[in-house]
Every structure is written in C-alpha cells, then in structure tokens.
Structure 1
C-alpha cells in the first residue's frame, strides 16, 4: 500500500471516529479502530492526535475548495446561488454526519486557543469569501449586480450568514432552509439589479 493510500485510509477513519466520539473525546486508538492499522502505525505518520487532526482538516479544506471551484451556472447570479447551495446543502454522498458537524463545531471553538486550528479556520474562511467575492464581482462587471455594490462587505456578510446557519443548525437544530430563504430575500432586494434580477 502506498503512502497516499495509507493517508487516505486514515482520513476516512478519522472522519468515522469523529462522528462516533466527537473532537474532545476521540483518541488515536479510536481512529486506529476504524482501520486495519495499529496505533503505532498512525504515530508513524503523525506525532500526535493534534497533528493528525490538523492534517485531516487540511484535507477537508482541499475537498471543500474543489467543490467551490466546480460550481457552475450560466450567470453570476446562478453561480452565486449554486455556491450557496453547495455550502449549505452538500451532496448526499458528502453530507456530514450529525456527530461530525458537532465535532467541527468543537474544533471551531478551539480557534482562539490553538494556532494551527485557527490558521485552518482562517484559510477556510478566506477561501469561501474569495469565491463569493469572485461571483459578486463578475456580476457587477457584467451588469447583473448593482454597480455600487460593496463586493467585499457583501461577501463578508454572506460568509457570516453561512457560518451562523451551520452553528445554529448544530447547536439548536434550526434548519438551514430558513437561512437560505433569508439569503434569497437579501440577494434579490439588495444585490441583484432590477434589470438583471430574478
């Protein structure tokens, strides 16, 4: 088995272990139990659970970026909406387990205290914001969105709503569908130009 295959197996095992045990409780033994590897094999690749989790979330960022890059649409408005659905509603085969969503929320709570996790969260935030900005800027350039639109501020607002929708979904069980409808109202009334709106 190649190093790449071994690492991929560990990524899958980490996901499964986080779903079952959560961020705070998961151990190297838990992760090893989801593979045919021993704990010592995991330590061959990673010095600690922390290092393994940092690598795992780097892998998640790469996968997330690929999904954002693959967003398509005939217009900037369409691409923006497809991005929103990509962020709020992952495909069924990529939809995160509830336990995993809780683990990610636990991870985010470590951001103020853990530099490695904070850097990951910043990279995730920056990647999402840049993709949103690109779609908004394209819409302004081609006349779909208002010429006076503050692209950076609008992108920052949308990313804040995405993050809030996910946190509320996990923490209090509020459906992300409601956030999506709020975004629709915001985009249609405040961003999309009357002559190009939908």
Structure 2
C-alpha cells in the first residue's frame, strides 16, 4: 500500500463502521479491515473514542474540499445557481455505502449531547456547510442571479437545518431522498426566484460531501 499507516487505519475505520455500526464497533473489527494487528492500531490511537475523533477529522478534511468544489474538477464554475445546486444535491444524493454509513454516523451524532469532543467536531461540519451556503447565496444576490431581497443568513440557516433533518429522517424511517429534494427545490424556487433543480445533474455517489473515506 502507498498510503501512510494512519490513513490506512482511518480508511479501515470507515469500512468497519459501515459493516458493524458505531455501537458494536471494536478495535479488532478495524484491525480486521487491515493487514495489521490490533496492537498496531493501538500504537497510533489509544482506543475507539480517540480513533473515531481522528476519523471525524479525516472526514472533515475531505468535506472542506468538497464544499469548495462540490461538482469536482471545478465543473460548476463561478455560477452561484450551479454551485448551490451542486452543494445541495451532494447532501441529498444516496451514497453507494448507504444506509450503513449514514446509520453509523447517526449513532455518532446521538452521542454528541453527552460527548463534547464529538459535538465539537460535528459542529464544524454544520458551521462549514452553513458558511459555504451563505457565501454562495450572497454572491448570487450580489450578481443578480437570486432575488435582491433574499437574506443569505436566513436561507443558509434554513437549508442547513432542513438538510440535517432530511438525512436523519431518511436513515430513521426511510423517507425517500427524492421527495425531500423536491421539497427543497420548491423552497429555493420560491425564495430565490430561480429554479436550481437539485435533481438535475446529480453528482456521483462517491462525491457526496457528507463524507467518505477515500
């Protein structure tokens, strides 16, 4: 393998999480996804909690890159409507390893009220997404793409909250993402004065910005 050992372990953590979920995950499960023994995993990480914090940091690094270029290869350019479509679509696109990954992530989120370290890392994802949406909306208002009376703060806050709820509802009760995307389209069409069609030109599932260990 050409990856460094910590990256191998973090990628193995992703695979083990998808297979076992958060609650049942053990360090041995992670070691089984590598060619290393459990003691080797412990050499780099004290335990499951420490490793999962590093894993969330790993996902966040990828998340930042996808927020900056949600379509991949600068495919959306500088068009605010295209940028917004790619950002929202990426959050509403079914992943190739869903629902296993999303279920495990929801389990981690469920720990955050009792775990400050988890909560702080999850807050970074939330704040980064909201800030990026706010930036795109503001740019669209400034250049006339979106209606001039649109408040970027209000739209960004609503989308962040609503999309978080969509993901939880999808994992919890199987509510179709396509239906949720239709509702988001209707909101944005009414609010922004432009049709961004989040179901058009959907990104490949491997590019979903809600995190995937590469």
Instruction: Please report the TM-score for the alignment, with normalisation by the length of structure 1.
Output: 0.90
- Structure 1: give runs of 5+ residues left out of the alignment: none
Instruction: Kindly report which structure 2 residues correspond to 1:48-59, keeping only aligned pairs within 5 A, or say none.
Output: 48-59=47-58
Q: What's 1:6 paired with?
A: 5
Q: What's 2:184 paired with?
A: 183
Instruction: Kindly report which structure 2 residues correspond to 1:1-198, keeping only aligned pairs within 5 A, or say none.
Output: 5-71=4-70, 72-73=76-77, 75-89=79-93, 95-192=96-193, 197-198=194-195
Residues 93-140 of structure 1 deviation map (CA, whole Å, 9 limit, x = unaligned): xx4332221110000111111011001110000110011111100011
Higher RCO (CA < 8 A, seq sep 6+):
2
Count of paired positions: 190
Instruction: Please report the TM-score for the alignment, with normalisation by the length of structure 2.
Output: 0.84
Cα distance in structure 1, aligned partners of 2:142 and 2:182: 26
Structure 1 residue runs of 4+, over 3 Å off? none
When you count helix as a share of all residues, which structure comes out higher? Answer: 1
- Structure 2: give runs of 5+ residues left out of the alignment: 71-75, 196-214
Query: Structure 1 residues 82 and 168, CA, compared in 2 at 3 Å: closer, same or farther?
Result: same
Cα distance in structure 2, aligned partners of 1:131 and 1:74: 13
RMSD between aligned alpha carbons? 1.6
Q: What's 2:207 paired with?
A: none
Q: CA deviation at 1:73?
A: 4.2
Q: Please state whether the residue corresponding to 2:169 is helix, strand or coil.
A: helix
Cα distance in structure 1, aligned partners of 2:97 and 2:65: 16
Q: Please state whether the residue corresponding to 1:36 is helix, strand or coil.
A: coil
